[in-house]
């Protein structure tokens, strides 16, 4: 760090520090933000601003790098990572926020360059950002008809391979809508915990507080805040009347459809979002065996269940591949996946996940599904779910499983949901370009009851 430390904004300086940690691979975006704001005297407003800057700049870094080059006298010249991060942060404030004056974005970026670099780099930052303000028309993109992958990847800031996948899976317009929606700041979503509160009680509380919200499209006990943070956290969150959860995640439990008094199994259960939702739908009657290999995450699940008033979850510390038990009437397996349905909520995911990751995950997922199938009793139901939109981890894993396990069959999700989220094969599929939803997949598989052969 340079010795000369003039006037600078400590909030933006913290953002630069975090961007460096993320770029080095030492931390995920979430870890970097938590580490940087811990034990620092930032206000709640400061922390929200930091999150906006760090997550936005991380998501849009390919687009930002693309745009910056049009204002550099020597675009190919190598720059330090600190300088790159300062320019990225400046361009993000100029072109991707609507409440920061251009003059403030420029001057604060120059101050950061003085603080982290030197006077020469500060002059460069000043010249580049001022040129961008005066002549934004210099920025051009590849032709979307001649090079759709190049255009979409640069404009919306994604790796080529993911854009190419989407274009093969969807039409151009659908792909563009999907990419644009995953760049928007995610809304806060939550469900009413009907063990402690009625849906009507939550509605009254939100209206009383003047909160703008919409209720779930597919699950009426889910809510989505239209703007801002949650205003009455003490009354609703800490009391256990609500649980922060995305509606798409809850839809897998609707498909699971556990009944009161049932004996069910949740594999890879922690931190307990799906298990606790299943418990509320079971009216806190029956038994949910919740398996997870992480002790800290299981402890978090126990705390969540305590706060929510859930009494029927039985935590088990075990690797789900080694777990012995059952057979169970219902089994849900929410597998580790690439997470490409939640790229709006995890800003660095798009730069961390590769096709090789997907290929490895698909093999693990298939093994886990085979193991889970052995724990389902005859006539019982197995739910396979993910939070990704990649077919190789979803449809392909299930179809290959069915080839290996002829005693299972698909039960269509159209028994529970409208056809707009149900595929031709009967799988539940949601996408981030649908209002208030993230990307998810779930398949309901029924184990056949053996019939006696006729002599």
Contact 189, 244 (CB under 8 A): yes
CA distance 252 to 340: 17
For residues 449 and 452, what is the distance between their CA atoms, to the nearest angstrom? Answer: 10
CA–CA separation, 243 and 300 (whole Å): 13
* 72 Cα distance to chain centroid: 34
Judged by DSSP in three states, 94 sits in: helix
Torsion of CA 4, 9, 11, 13, to 10 degrees: -30
The sign of the torsion formed by the CA atoms of 258, 260, 262, 266 equals positive
Whether the Cβ atoms of residue 269 and residue 290 lie closer than 8 Å to each other: yes
Cβ atoms of residues 55 and 350 within 8 Å: no
Scanning the structure block, which residue is given the tokens 């789900």?
320
d(CA 181, CA 122): 34
Q: Can you say whether residue 193 is alpha, beta or left, with left for phi > 0 and alpha for psi between -120 and 50 degrees? A: beta
DSSP 8-state secondary structure symbol assigned to residue 359: H
**Nearest 10 degrees: Cα torsion 24, 342, 267, 320:** -30
Locate 357 and state its tokens.
């990751």
Distance CA 289, CA 173 (A): 44
Catalytic residue set: 387
Residues in the chain: 455
Please classify residue 333 by burial: count the beta carbons closer than 10 Å to its beta carbon, then call 0-12 exposed, 13-18 middle and 19+ buried.
buried
């Amino acid at each position: 760090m340079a010795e000369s430390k003039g006037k600078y904004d400590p909030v933006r300086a913290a953002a630069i520090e975090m961007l460096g940690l993320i770029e080095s691979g030492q931390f995920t975006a979430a870890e970097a933000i938590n580490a940087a704001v811990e034990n620092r005297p930032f206000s709640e407003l400061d922390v929200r601003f930091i999150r906006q800057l760090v997550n936005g700049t991380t998501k849009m870094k390919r687009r930002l790098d693309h745009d910056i080059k049009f204002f550099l006298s020597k675009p190919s010249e190598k720059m330090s990572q600190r300088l790159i991060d300062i320019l990225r942060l400046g361009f993000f404030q100029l072109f991707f926020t609507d409440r920061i004056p251009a003059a403030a974005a420029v001057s604060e970026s120059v101050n950061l360059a003085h603080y982290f670099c030197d006077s020469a780099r500060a002059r460069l930052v000043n010249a580049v950002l001022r040129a961008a303000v005066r002549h934004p028309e210099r920025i051009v993109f590849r032709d979307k008809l001649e090079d759709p992958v190049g255009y979409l990847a640069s404009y919306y800031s994604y790796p080529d391979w993911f854009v190419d996948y989407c274009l093969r899976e969807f039409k151009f317009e659908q792909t563009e809508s999907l990419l644009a929606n995953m760049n928007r700041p995610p809304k806060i979503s939550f469900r009413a915990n009907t063990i402690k509160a009625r849906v009507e009680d939550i509605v009254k509380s939100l209206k009383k507080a003047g909160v703008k919200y919409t209720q779930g499209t597919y699950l009426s006990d889910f809510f989505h805040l239209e703007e801002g943070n949650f205003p009455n956290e003490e009354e609703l969150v800490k009391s256990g009347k609500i649980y922060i959860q995305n509606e798409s995640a809850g839809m897998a439990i609707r498909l699971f459809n556990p009944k009161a008094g049932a004996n069910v199994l949740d594999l890879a259960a922690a931190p307990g979002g799906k298990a606790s939702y299943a418990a509320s739908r079971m009216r806190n009657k029956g038994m949910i065996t919740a398996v997870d290999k992480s002790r800290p995450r299981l402890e978090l699940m126990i705390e969540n269940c305590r706060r929510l008033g859930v009494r029927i979850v039985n935590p088990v510390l075990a690797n789900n591949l080694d777990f012995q038990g059952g057979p169970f009437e219902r089994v849900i397996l929410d597998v580790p996946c690439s997470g490409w349905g939640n790229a709006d909520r995890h800003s660095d995911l798009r730069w961390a996940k590769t096709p090789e990751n997907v290929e490895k995950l698909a093999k693990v997922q298939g093994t886990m599904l085979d193991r889970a199938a052995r724990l389902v009793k005859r006539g019982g139901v197995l739910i396979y779910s993910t939070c990704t939109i990649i077919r190789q981890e979803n449809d392909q894993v299930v179809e290959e499983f069915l080839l290996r396990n002829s005693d299972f069959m698909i039960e269509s999700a159209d028994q529970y949901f409208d056809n707009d989220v149900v595929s031709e094969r009967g799988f539940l599929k949601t996408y981030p370009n649908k209002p208030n939803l993230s990307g998810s997949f779930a398949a309901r598989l029924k184990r056949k009851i053996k019939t006696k052969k006729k002599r």
